[in-house]
Amino acid sequence: KLYRPPHPVDWCPGCGDFGILSSLQRALAELGLLPHQVAVFGGIGCSGKAPYYVSSYGVHTLHGRVLPYAQGAKLANPELTVVAVGGDGDGLGIGAAHFVNAGRRNIDMTYILFNNEVYGLTKGQAAPTMPLGMQTKALPEPNMQNKINSLMLALTSGFTWIGRGYAYNVKQLVKLMQEAIQHPGLSYLEVLQPCPTYNNIHTKEWYNGEDLGHPRVYDVQEEGYDPVIPEGADEETINAKMLAFMQKANEWGDRIPTGILLQNRAIPTYEERISQKIPSYRSNPPAVRDVRDENGYSQVDLSPFYEELAI
Ligand code: SF4
Ligand code: MG
């Protein structure tokens, strides 16, 4: 209840977004975090509205720009728990360069990608995660482009925690979100999210495997998969873990892995690297620095900026 907003949520009935939202609200509350300690940033799309629906700090940012915004907030205030959310089109289309470069930094925050394979808010066009040749009811012809495997992209970009959940498995999703938030470094959680309005192929029934007689989605941890690359791991161990990850990340069809797929403890966070250069960074981060002079006015000299604007 702590994170539930006072206003209604306006996603379509039955949308997988509801499962992701309630998981995030529960995950934050059960971690013992108070709303003022958390900031949720959204991109554009149906999922971009999530910051309105979580009673913490938050901003609905620009199309594709959620990661730069969220990284800036986290660097200015490293004590804040930062969660960025966005859709597949937002994060892997226009935002793809930010996805890659965020991975290289490894800032201690979490990115949750709502993957429904479509641009839901703009009436169901093919998103970068839609498989080649798939034709949903909103498309006049089969999709002509191949899909991005975002788990593989996260690996090669340098994300140090990578997982996948399913929107209707709230119990597992809460746990995954908590693990992602607690991981010291950049975590990427892909959530498979049926869009009942526009994606009539990969539906709840499809993920449940009603045509197969067994669920497609399964939990890798229940099968004993160990995602951890320990601190100080040698090259052989790292290579073996990455190969095991790639096998899971490429599995799709009759069996779809979910769970924690990679947890790399061998790479320091960006904050640790900054602290080495600026020892006072953590004790005196930008967000708490006083910019006022003794008279209460800003010490920042804006006159060159005003001169530039003068006609
Ligand atoms: Fe959910 Fe799809 Fe409706 Fe968007 S269009 S709210 S993703 S069901
Ligand atoms: Mg989408």
CA distance 266 to 277: 20
CA of 156 to the centre of ligand 1 (A): 30
Give the nearest ligand 1 atom to 17 CA: 1
Q: 17-277 maps to which CATH number?
A: 3.40.50.970
Closest by CA position to 131, among listed 201, 207, 46? 201
Q: Give me the pLDDT at residue 305, please.
A: 85
What pLDDT does residue 292 have? 86
Q: Write the CA distances from 181 to 32, 107, 153, integer angstroms.
A: 12, 12, 20
Residue whose tokens read 């839901």? 120
Q: Mutation test of ligand 1: which of 9, 10, 11, 136 has the most ligand atoms closer than 8 Å to its C-beta?
A: 11
pLDDT of residue 188: 98
Nearest to 245 by CA among 307, 183, 153: 153
Q: What is the mean pLDDT of each run of 10 residues along the chain (311 residues)?
A: 91 96 98 97 94 95 97 97 97 97 98 98 96 97 97 98 98 98 98 98 98 98 97 95 98 98 95 96 91 85 87 75
Nearest atom within ligand 1 for CA of residue 199: 2
Which atom of ligand 1 is closest in space to residue 12's alpha carbon?
A: 3
- How many A from CA of 45 to the centre of ligand 2? 7
pLDDT of residue 293: 85
Q: What is the ipTM of this complex?
A: 0.98
Look at residue 310 in the predicted model and tell me its pLDDT: 86
